[in-house]
Amino acid sequence: MATTVGVIADTHCPEFIERLPEPVAGAFRGAQLILHAGDVNGRSTLKTLAEIAPVRAVRGDHDQDLTDLPLTEELTVEGRRIVLVHGNRSRWIEEPQTLLWTLSLGFYRPHRGLARGLRRRFPDADVIVYGHTHRARVETIDGVILFNPGGVHQWNPVTTRRRLAQRPGWFEWCWLQVARHMRRFQEPSVGVLEIDPGEIRAKVIPL
């Protein structure tokens, strides 16, 4: 029997969304473990997930109030080594990328090279689970599976207006004035890993 692992990232709850979408519970039905790849945002989010299955989580760049979470987590499931990490890099890399993405109204794709960089950082992993990009992706690099389940929270005109109503700081307010006009954005999603000694299967589940 394979072990089923739910994979989730970038919930930003309750920062940008009020609660986890109901389809999350259905997507993780039967999971023995849930991995959260950071930008959890609220401890209530972890509590909700823990009602489904045991949770392991790492800290993202929006988790300033969750300092007890580790930056990376390594665990073994069915003899396979899994590394859990958020994936954010130095501000000197991230902020110019975010600016270009915003000015392009979502058409520019930042984070090129992130997956390969994580592969170099964790050379002994069988699976690297990461988030941060809010973009679902499954790829194999030099025999290692890199799995991003996508983001539960996705920037779009609705979520941008919701954040503006919360009266953010002036810098974020300026950024959101541009972001609210985005014409290209991702759909929310989570993922599932099915792991047995002979095979690892990763799939993305739209919400």
- The per-residue pLDDT for 176 is 80
Q: CA–CA distance from 194 to each of 31, 80, 127, 156, 168 (Å)?
A: 9, 11, 12, 31, 40
Residue 93 has pLDDT above 70, yes or no: no
Q: ∠ CA(9), CA(11), CA(12), 5° rounding? A: 130
- The per-residue pLDDT for 180 is 79
Two tokens, residue 117: 């960089």
In one-letter notation, the amino acid at residue 105 is L
Taking alpha carbons only, the member of 90, 97, 73, 75 closest to residue 9 is 73
- The per-residue pLDDT for 38 is 96
Q: Can you tell me the distance from the alpha carbon of 134 to that of 184, in angstroms, rounded to the nearest whole number?
A: 13
Would you say the pTM of this structure is higher than 0.75? yes
State the first-to-last Cα distance of the chain, in angstroms, to the nearest integer: 26
pLDDT, tens digit, 9 for 90 and up, residues 9-66 = 999 998 888 899 999 999 999 999 999 999 999 999 999 999 999 999 999 988 989 9
Q: What is the mean pLDDT of residues 200-207?
A: 96
DSSP state letters, 1-23: -PEEEEEE----BTTTSSS--TH
pLDDT, tens digit, 9 for 90 and up, residues 135-183 = 999 999 999 999 999 999 987 888 888 888 888 777 678 778 777 777 7
